[in-house]
Amino acid sequence: MTKIKKKNILVTGSAGFIGSALVIQLLKEGNNVEGIDNHNNYYDILLKESRLKRQINHSNYLHHRINIENQNDLEKIFEKRKFDTVVNLAAQAGVRYSLINPKKYITTNILGFTNILEACKNHNVSHLVYASSSSIYGLNRNIPFSAHDMTNHPISVYAATKKSNELLAHTYSYLYNLPTTGLRFFTVYGPWDRPDMALQKFANSIISEKPINLFNYGNHKRDFTYIDDIVEGIIKVISKPATENSKWNPLQPDAASSSCPYRIYNIGNNSMVKLEKYLDILEKELGKKAKREFLPMQAGDIENTYANVDDLINDFNYRPSTPVETGIKKFSEWFKNYYKL
């Protein structure tokens, strides 16, 4: 794991799947970390509380149960400590839920993110790192997805809000010289993940002998990225704030950089795995077969995801590398232990 110079770091979404894993690693490296999480009931609150127990008593950690949509509460936290870096992982997640409750995504992912930008600007934060998503590629079929591709055709409200985050970040980088780095995560999985994510949904269905819906008749391919690789990527990025691209050409604008301190990177495993293979590996680890139901493509879904990570390699000498077999094995061990199977 890459070590960074000791910093004061704020992580939003710090009781979430990625946020909690990041906080734990940052604390191991000796940083002072404060976390924000609203502990909403989008999924099992007990899982969030269990994640939080792993970090809450650390002497260098302070936890805040607030909502980033509340600008006053957010300002109070920024006023008390000078943060070197802010990592915004707080968001309303889930492509499919965004089809049902789009307004929640607007308030949390856009209003909340704007509050984060304002706080960073007002308190001279040196670097804002924030989560974007592979969902942003939408109708793009130029595989593997490159951060230099245009992303103007999202197909879910969730993806549209992540696109909005990138646009807002660029505006603040340009107007206020705030270094911002957006990270497009590709299908993150591993221990402590969310119950609404594919791996834990599949595992729960297998154990309870319920059928698993495989949309697109199981032909989806995903760039599955293990949680530890995501955390390593974030920490690499924290250590190197975004800078302006001196070669940026407004006549041929590069979507992944700018004339201001703004950068976009993919963090993915740089490989595609068919969803049915993913399920095959999980069946083997759990020692039980799944009941499969094959269904047509679902609204909002991207058929295949595949990350071009050349920029991550060139700028940080890093690429995710955990094989899906290894990652699912570690997830299964956690799953059986956590749910006492």
Q: Indicate whether 336 belongs to any domain.
A: no
Q: What is the pLDDT of residue 2?
A: 55
Q: What is the pLDDT of residue 62?
A: 98
Q: What is the pLDDT of residue 136?
A: 95
Instruction: Please report, to the nearest 10 degrees, the dihedral formed by the alpha carbons of residues 56, 58, 62, 68 taken in order.
Output: -50
State the DSSP string of 58-105.
-TTEEEE---TT-HHHHHHHHHHS--SEEEE------TTHHHH-HHHH
Domain containing 24 equals 8-188+224-270+305-321
Q: Indicate whether 20 belongs to any domain.
A: yes
pLDDT tens, the chain, 341 aa long: 555 568 999 999 999 999 999 999 999 999 999 999 999 998 899 999 999 999 999 999 999 999 999 999 999 999 999 999 999 999 988 887 888 889 999 999 999 999 999 999 999 999 999 999 999 999 999 999 999 999 999 999 999 999 999 999 999 999 999 999 999 999 999 999 999 999 999 999 999 999 998 888 788 899 999 999 999 999 999 999 999 999 999 999 999 999 999 999 999 999 999 999 999 999 999 999 999 998 887 776 788 899 999 999 999 999 999 999 999 999 999 999 999 98
Q: Indicate whether 279 belongs to any domain.
A: no
CA distance 243 to 241: 6
Q: What is the pLDDT of residue 4?
A: 55
CATH number of the domain bearing residue 182: 3.40.50.720
| Candidates 97, 158, 262, 278; catalytic one | 158
Q: Indicate whether 284 belongs to any domain.
A: no
Q: Indicate whether 340 belongs to any domain.
A: no
Q: Whole-model pTM?
A: 0.95
Q: Is 97 a catalytic residue?
A: no
Q: What is the pLDDT of residue 234?
A: 98
Instruction: Work out how many domains the chain is built from and give that number.
Output: 1
Q: Indicate whether 337 belongs to any domain.
A: no
Q: Indicate whether 159 belongs to any domain.
A: yes
Q: Indicate whether 134 belongs to any domain.
A: yes
* CB neighbourhood size of 319 (10 A): 17
Q: What is the pLDDT of residue 220?
A: 86
Q: What is the pLDDT of residue 323?
A: 97
Angle between helices 275-286 and 198-207 (to 10 degrees): 50
CA distance 268 to 278: 16
